Amino acid sequence: GAVVSQHPSRVICKSGTSVKIECRSLDFQATTMFWYRQFPKQSLMLMATSNEGSKATYEQGVEKDKFLINHASLTLSTLTVTSAHPEDSSFYICSAEQGNTYEQYFGPGTRLTVT
């Protein structure tokens, strides 16, 4: 149980284009999902907290107009990187919280490369 999927696993796009990443909880309902960004050899940096049916809460320094988050259902959250630039290249990981268990389970991550 507690499986989180993420799609795509890898994406290469040209500068100026937009990329959508999907995060799904496969066997549980996730009221809250989280989006992280991880640079090589660094820790996970929380970008935003996504609650089903409401607007995401963004961490300081994260541009909400650039990183669009939608949490339309209890099993799906999407992150859209708009007008991507090379500096947006990173490993993006989502996680989902299983009910009131405290525990967060991570998706496999999406490697974004912007050329």
Q: Does 106 bind another protein (CB under 8 A)?
A: yes
Shortest Å distance, C-beta 60 to another protein: 9
Q: Does 62 bind another protein (CB under 8 A)?
A: no
Q: Does 74 bind another protein (CB under 8 A)?
A: no
Contact 75, 30 (CB under 8 A): yes
Among 75, 107, 112, 114, binds another protein (CB under 8 A): 107
Question: Interface residues with another protein (CB under 8 A)?
Answer: 32, 34, 42-44, 46, 49, 57, 93, 95, 97, 102-109, 111
